[in-house]
Amino acid sequence: MNSKLWSDLVKEAFDKTLIVTKFFCALHLTTTYVFTPAYVFGPSMLPTFNISGDYVLAEKISTRLGKVGRNDIVLIRSPEDPRKIVTKRIVGVEGDDVRYSLNPERDDTFETIVVPKGHVWIEGDNKYMSRDSKNFGPVPYGMIQGRIFWKVSAFFDVYIYVSQVIRMFNVGCVFEISCLMALGCFLLTSACCHIFH
């Protein structure tokens, strides 16, 4: 009897460990090859993103297929410090003539550059507070880590509204707990993905 009980406990532990392992493998594959959550903060992408931070989702498939283009907002490895990932907007792709201001405070100091093959020209939306291609030139396409496709802050606003409606009608807390658990998983996943604009 004891050996059967022990055998059942080991089997149950193994089954649960296998489920958890599969979950983390799927999570790793998804965030490496499909999409990843990130927390972006800093002044260079004002007003698109808040200086105090926004949660975003970035997909990686377009990047791998070479489909990221003009006006896309991307996560990109910083040419100045490759350990950092920054958030910028693509202003020009290879072959484009890009006209940029040398001094954002003065409108009469412009230069033009042709973006070389295999490169992109990136800029922050806040031209007064951004270190971008105006400072370090065109960036190799291979440094792009993902294309931002969703600002998740809107999801939090929807959640707050839904939870207020649930409380107002006293429907119960099962849905609210489910939403909180989903948000918790998302925040936990993105906790390691802090991105500076």
Catalytic residues: 44, 88
Strand partners, 93: 120
Helix (H, G, I), strand (E, B) or coil at 94: coil
DSSP class of 156: H
Closest Cα to residue 114, out of 131, 99, 130, 135?
Answer: 99
Place of tokens 């958030």: 87
Token couple for 74:
């991307």
Token couple for 55:
């949660």
Rounded CA separation 113/123 (Å): 14
Rounded CA separation 115/139 (Å): 9
Taking residue 177's Cβ as centre, other Cβ atoms within 10 Å add up to 10
DSSP class of 39: E
Contact (CB, 8 A) for 147 and 124: no
